Amino acid sequence: MTQGLAEVNNINIWWEDFGDPSNPSVLLIMGANANCMQWTPEFIDPIVEAGFHVIRFDNRDVGKSTWFGKESFSAKLVRLFLPNFLLKFFLNKAFNSIIDENGYMQEFDIRDPDYTLDDMAKDAISLMDHLNIDKAHIIGASMGGMITQLLALDYPDRVLTITPIMSSPGVGDPELSNMTPSLVKGLQESAFMDAKGNHADSVTRIYRELTGSRFPFNEEKFREKLIPVMAHGHNPNCKHGDAAGACPSRKDRLHQISKPTLVIHGTEDAILPLDHGMALYDNIPNAKKMIMEGVGHEIPEELAKDITAEIIQHLKQS
């Protein structure tokens, strides 16, 4: 296992690899607001043992990579001095201007985001260049799955296979389901926790809503596993949401993907419901799917062996 800080694409990207670098490489791309520590040993180890070289890395704006989103001076003053009832009032007002009570994004433009998903796809390719990796299998979770699609579309000569997990062809598509009302409520409450500086509480609140019914949320266990994730670098002001929101839907381009594709999705995903994953499966030629009953927006530890076995078969058949 080696790790390092790569100076690529005008930023720093922290990375870590596992297994023999002479083996076929697998690049893991994590989702929004999450650093690469959320790729757990239960997920990584079986892929390494199957004969692959696995790389996980922090996307820009999280973990130990370059951060763009930072707390403003005014936000800090609000956090320190505004009474809780007023803080909740203003946060809810701002929240409701973006997301309605049914979980649908209100129509608004994200103009001039600090960076885009295209920039993040270039980060991944630049990291591969830095590590002298010509081609790789790409596995992406949530927003990472969106970046995975862009790699297959815009850098097909660098991609062997793709595996988008709990992902989507694009957020804000009116033809696809949106967030559940319970998740909207959880996001509102987590925003208040973040505003008060209680970031571990905020993350815990969100993941409670993202967990499906098959493996009920265990808060004590979750908080224990969250400690090293937060210690690695949690950016509460991360701008991944802007990058994903500003990116147009890829649905009309999916037919151009020629790489072997495995779509993995849960039936109880609260933020990107199952029809998002099915839109990928239905529109990417010859795609395969693994649908997990009762699973939410998560990669359950209890299913790690089943999920990795399916992925390994997918990688080896390519």
Q: Domain span at residue 244?
A: 2-66+112-176+239-316
Least confident stretch, 139-143, 163-167, 170-174, 218-222:
170-174
pLDDT in tens, 303-315: 999 999 999 999 9
Report whether pLDDT(106) > 60.
Answer: no
Q: Cβ distance 263 to 162 under 8 Å?
A: no
pLDDT at 104: 56
Closest C-alpha among 148, 206, 132, 160 to residue 318: 160
pLDDT in tens, 266-291: 999 999 999 999 999 999 999 999 99
Q: Final residue of a domain: which of 199, 217, 233?
A: 233
Q: Final residue of a domain: which of 188, 216, 233?
A: 233
* Shared domain check, 244 and 217: no
Q: Number of structural domains, the chain?
A: 2
* Shared domain check, 106 and 253: no
* Shared domain check, 188 and 52: no
* Shared domain check, 118 and 229: no
* Shared domain check, 61 and 15: yes
* Shared domain check, 59 and 117: yes
pLDDT in tens, 131-143: 999 999 999 999 9
Average pLDDT (82-92) is 61
The CATH number covering residue 165 comes to 3.40.50.1820
* Shared domain check, 250 and 210: no
Report whether pLDDT(99) > 90.
Answer: no
* Shared domain check, 307 and 189: no
pLDDT in tens, 184-241: 889 889 988 888 889 999 999 999 999 999 999 999 999 999 999 999 999 999 999 9
Average pLDDT (90-106) is 60
Q: Final residue of a domain: which of 233, 248, 267?
A: 233
* Shared domain check, 287 and 213: no
State how far the Cα of 127 lies from the Cα of 3, in Å rounded to an integer. 12
Least confident stretch, 54-63, 66-75, 292-301:
66-75
* Shared domain check, 125 and 224: no
* Shared domain check, 124 and 248: yes
CA angle 115, 28, 9 (to 5 degrees): 35
State how far the Cα of 144 lies from the Cα of 156, in Å rounded to an integer. 17
298 Cβ contact list (under 8 Å, min separation 6): 166, 207, 210, 211, 212, 266
Higher pLDDT, 71 or 20: 20
pLDDT at 14: 98
- Rounded to the nearest 10 degrees, the angle between the axes of helix 181-195 and helix 84-96 is 140
Banded pLDDT at 107 (limits 50, 70, 90): very low
pLDDT at 172: 75
Confidence (pTM)? 0.92
Virtual torsion, Cα 316, 275, 294, 226, nearest 10 deg:
70
* Shared domain check, 158 and 40: yes
Where do the H-state alpha helices sit in 108-198? 117-130, 143-154, 181-195
What tokens does 241 get? 């949401």
Mean per-residue pLDDT of the chain: 91
